[in-house]
């Protein structure tokens, strides 16, 4: 809305009056007029850009610190931790699952967002596609996985894809993730597709119990061969999007970014035989999520060391 002076004929057309009008608008800026806040505290966790965060003991699940950890938020691609967990649980009962061949459908190929860059009709083992799901954050891989495993989970006239999503939701409930619901296997923004930082700790602790998951999320690069529809082979290489793996002590897990979710990161780290899980949701940028996480890790490790020295 224009300031009142722009509606006055008396000031239109004069540079001096226009200047005075602009000065008047700036002078009444509520931000400039707001009283100063209290000085920054010298104790407590560092300042971060993320909207919610939590730190927990990876072995016991004890919550060590957090902020807004129970607020429901869009999860972006950290959704794929649950996608992987559904497969891990199926493979736990039937290890031959890892050797099954998945064929990419047109639907998977055309899924927008992050991609493992496989094409319609190309095939590869489940064991390899898990890397394509978790390293480059393959939205297309998540759809291919849901379509492949869904039919064996279906009830009645339910489609395989819908059955896989229902299984994700049921698994969340079994883990006590009471504020989490899924509408897809990849994390693209969808109404009702939500989670919390606290719920993500529960999910990650469960997934990290599986050696295959720990091995996959800690891998910085994975190469494999896919079969093309014409019977030839094609080599593909996936790089892990998690920059924390460049630093000693970080165990990896999963990144995720959408405009609705912001930049998200679920990570695990180990120091002096103690393992932690951290979730940051809604950081201001990709760079910021790593700065947020590293600053929070430095703070919590120092606090834990001080607590240990006092015992």
> What pLDDT is stored for residue 308 in this prediction?
82
Q: Which helix (H) or strand (E) holds 122?
A: none
Q: What does residue 106 show for φ and ψ, rounded to 5 degrees? A: -65, -35
Q: What does residue 30 show for φ and ψ, rounded to 5 degrees? A: -65, -25
Q: What does residue 99 show for φ and ψ, rounded to 5 degrees? A: -90, -10
Q: Tell whether residue 254 is among the known ligand binding residues.
A: yes
CB 288 within 8 A of CB 51: no
Domain ranges of the chain: 52-310
Candidates 38, 51, 68, 77; catalytic one: 77
Taking phi first (over 0 means left), then psi (-120 to 50 degrees means alpha), and beta for anything else, what does residue 86 get? Answer: alpha
Half-sphere exposure of 202 (CA within 13 A, CB side): 17
| 3-class state of residue 117 by DSSP | coil
| 3-class state of residue 61 by DSSP | coil
Q: How many CB atoms lie within 10 A of CB 226?
A: 22
- Tokens (6 digits) for 100: 């099954």
> What pLDDT is stored for residue 27 in this prediction?
54
- Tokens (6 digits) for 141: 């891989």
Q: How far apart are CA 179 and CA 182, in angstroms?
A: 10
Q: In the annotation, is 80 catalytic?
A: yes
Q: Which CATH number fits domain 52-310: 3.20.20.70, 3.40.50.300, 3.40.710.10, 3.40.50.970?
A: 3.40.710.10
> What pLDDT is stored for residue 28 in this prediction?
60
Torsion of the alpha carbons at 78, 74, 108 and 255, rounded to the nearest 10? -30
Candidates 137, 142, 181, 283; catalytic one: 137
- Tokens (6 digits) for 227: 């079969």
Per-residue pLDDT of the chain (311 residues; tens, 9 = 90+): 444 443 443 444 444 444 444 444 455 666 677 788 888 887 889 999 999 999 999 999 999 999 999 999 999 999 999 999 999 999 999 999 999 999 999 999 999 999 999 999 999 999 999 999 999 999 999 999 999 999 999 999 999 999 999 999 999 999 999 999 999 999 999 999 999 999 999 999 999 999 999 999 999 999 999 999 999 999 999 999 999 999 999 999 999 999 999 999 999 999 999 999 999 999 999 999 999 999 999 999 999 999 888 76
Q: How far apart are CA 267 and CA 223, in angstroms?
A: 23
> What pLDDT is stored for residue 130 in this prediction?
98
Q: How far apart are CA 63 and CA 54, in angstroms?
A: 7
User: Starting from the edge strand earliest in sequence, which strands make up the sheet with 274-283, in order?
Assistant: 63-67, 52-57, 274-283, 262-271, 254-258
Candidates 80, 114, 142, 283; catalytic one: 80
- For the chain, where are the E strands, in sequence order? 52-57, 63-67, 101-103, 123-125, 221-227, 233-239, 254-258, 262-271, 274-283
């Amino acid at each position: 809305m224009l300031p009142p002076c722009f509606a006055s004929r008396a000031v239109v057309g004069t540079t001096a009056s226009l200047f005075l009008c602009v000065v008047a608008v700036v002078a009444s800026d509520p931000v400039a007029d707001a009283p100063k806040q209290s000085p920054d505290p010298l104790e407590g966790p560092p300042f971060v850009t993320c909207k919610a965060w939590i730190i927990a003991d990876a072995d016991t699940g004890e919550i060590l610190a957090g902020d807004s950890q129970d607020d429901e938020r869009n999860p972006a691609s950290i959704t794929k931790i649950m996608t992987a967990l559904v497969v891990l649980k199926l493979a736990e009962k039937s290890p031959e699952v890892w050797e099954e061949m998945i064929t990419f459908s047109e639907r998977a190929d055309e899924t927008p967002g992050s991609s493992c860059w496989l094409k319609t009709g190309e095939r590869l083992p489940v064991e390899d596609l898990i890397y394509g799901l978790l390293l480059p954050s393959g939205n297309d891989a998540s759809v291919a996985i849901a379509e492949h495993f869904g039919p064996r989970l279906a009830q009645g006239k339910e489609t395989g894809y819908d059955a896989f999503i229902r299984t994700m939701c049921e698994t969340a409930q079994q883990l006590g993730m009471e504020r989490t619901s899924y509408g897809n296997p990849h994390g693209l923004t969808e109404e009702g597709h939500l989670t919390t930082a606290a719920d993500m700790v529960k999910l990650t602790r469960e997934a990290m119990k599986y050696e295959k998951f720990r091995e996959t999320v800690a891998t910085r690069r994975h190469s494999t061969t896919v079969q093309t529809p014409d019977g030839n082979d094609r080599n593909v290489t996936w790089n892990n999007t998690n920059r924390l793996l460049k630093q000693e002590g970080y165990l990896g897990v999963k990144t995720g970014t959408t405009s609705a979710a912001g930049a998200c990161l679920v990570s695990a780290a180990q120091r002096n035989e103690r393992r932690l899980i951290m979730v940051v949701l809604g950081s201001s940028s990709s760079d910021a999520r790593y700065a947020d996480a590293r600053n929070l890790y430095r703070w919590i490790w120092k606090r834990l060391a001080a607590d240990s020295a006092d015992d």
